[in-house]
């Protein structure tokens, strides 16, 4: 398997150097060139022939979104990773970029320790590069010329035949999702009806601020109401709650109400928020009246929580392998024989609504 060829595009010489140092620590990838502007980056595409571009989202002349669109118009195979600030404006731009074909995003470090910043960047980049490398290799093995990550596979699924087993009455839906999640949610959440008779709580692995932008974008494009959850928020039917980044989200019972409780405990499965934390909390208060859904993502966060929900009598759906950007989290649940149904992304929202209504 050949190394990934990486081009770095950032108007800051300091960040171009920092990203280059970070990439030197990433196996199976090498920096083939840099560019201080989007226009120069586009001129270099043919000569450098990168298959990965690290792209700053805020630059003079051409901004990151314009450069992303131009790269994708020229070569859909190039995987673009957005390099972002950590303010709300940057978060909104990132959400737009992910919807237009970016693989993922990496927040710019804010500390003054250059060595520590490079190490943190290399750890984040290594995970994304591993996904790109795996997907690229699988596509080449198939002889597939379709676009690479992060495009959610647009397959024509065979007519879906749900199993004859019927779940108990469902009173809450909980969803765990990670890599490839924003685009998958962008496709799935708008298919949920506004009249859904239960609340939906989602853990999407994301840093603070970005989850608020994700909730805002999903709410704008969906019939069902979508909000970022907050401590003390009472769950209501027909509302989707996105767990905020940087803290764990739990559901607790207060009298007759079910309430969001934020927890600033340590990361679980190296994640904060963690799917397992949410899933375990709903198992405690809803017993088996739960529909758990595990979607595209790296790792196995959600496996233990899904097991607890199943032990209580809950129902579990996993996103089908062929429609995942990364089949890590669903695969862990499938291998443990916890999934009642493996559902393609294209009909996942419809299937959730059918199981509830």
Q: CA-to-CA distance for 347 and 196, rounded, in angstroms?
A: 16
CA 348, CA 99: separation in Å to the nearest integer? 19
Contacts of 279 (CB under 8 A, 6+ apart): 174, 176, 292, 302, 304, 305, 306, 308, 309
**248 has catalytic annotation:** no
State how far the Cα of 104 lies from the Cα of 132, in Å rounded to an integer: 10
Inter-residue contact 302 to 294 (CB < 8 Å):
yes
Q: What's phi and psi for 55, nearest 5 deg?
A: -125, 115
Among residues 149, 106, 99, 186, the alpha carbon closest in space to that of 325 is found at: 149
List the catalytic residue out of 90, 104, 205, 213. 205
Is the Cβ–Cβ distance between 293 and 174 less than 8 Å?
A: yes
Name, in order, each residue with C-beta under 8 angstroms of 319's C-beta and a sequence gap of 6 or more. Answer: 184, 293, 294, 295, 296, 330, 342, 343, 344, 345, 348
The catalytic position among 10, 104, 276, 301 is: 301
Active site (annotated) includes residue 178? yes
CA distance 207 to 187: 21
Among candidate residues 84, 90, 148, 178, the one labeled active-site is 178
Helix (H) or strand (E) holding 263: strand 257-263
Based on the residue annotation, tell me whether 205 is a catalytic residue of this protein: yes
Q: Cite the active site residues.
A: 178, 205, 301
């Amino acid at each position: 398997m050949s190394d990934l060829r990486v081009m770095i595009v950032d108007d800051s010489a300091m960040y171009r150097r920092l990203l280059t140092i970070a990439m030197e620590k990433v196996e199976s990838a090498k920096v083939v060139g840099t560019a201080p502007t989007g226009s120069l980056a586009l001129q270099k595409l043919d000569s450098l022939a990168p298959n990965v571009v690290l792209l700053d989202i805020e630059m003079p002349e051409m901004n990151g979104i314009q450069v992303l669109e131009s790269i994708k118009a020229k070569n859909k195979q190039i995987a673009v990773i957005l390099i972002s600030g950590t303010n709300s404006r940057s978060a909104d731009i990132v959400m737009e970029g992910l919807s237009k074909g970016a693989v993922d995003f990496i927040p710019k470090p804010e500390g003054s320790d250059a060595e520590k910043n490079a190490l943190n960047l290399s750890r984040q980049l290594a995970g994304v590069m591993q996904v790109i490398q795996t997907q690229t290799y699988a596509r080449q093995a198939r002889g597939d010329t379709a676009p690479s990550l992060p495009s959610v596979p647009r397959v024509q699924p065979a007519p879906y035949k749900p199993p004859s087993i019927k779940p108990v009455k469902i009173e809450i839906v909980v969803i765990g999702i990670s890599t490839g999640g924003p685009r998958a949610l962008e496709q799935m959440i708008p298919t949920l009806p506004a009249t859904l008779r239960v609340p939906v709580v989602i853990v999407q692995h994301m840093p603070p601020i970005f989850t608020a932008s994700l909730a805002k974008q999903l709410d704008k494009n969906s019939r069902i109401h979508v909000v970022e959850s907050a401590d003390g928020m009472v769950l209501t039917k027909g509302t989707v709650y996105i767990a905020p980044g940087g803290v764990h989200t739990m559901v607790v019972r207060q009298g007759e109400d079910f309430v969001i409780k934020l927890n600033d405990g340590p990361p679980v499965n190296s994640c904060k928020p963690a799917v397992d934390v949410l899933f375990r909390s709903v198992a405690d208060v809803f017993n088996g009246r739960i529909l758990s859904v595990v979607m595209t993502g790296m790792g196995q966060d959600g496996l233990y929580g899904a097991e607890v929900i199943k032990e209580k009598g809950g129902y579990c759906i996993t996103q089908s392998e062929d429609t995942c950007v990364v089949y890590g989290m669903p695969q862990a649940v499938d291998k443990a024989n916890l999934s009642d149904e493996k559902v393609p992304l294209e009909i996942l929202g419809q299937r959730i609504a059918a199981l509830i209504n």
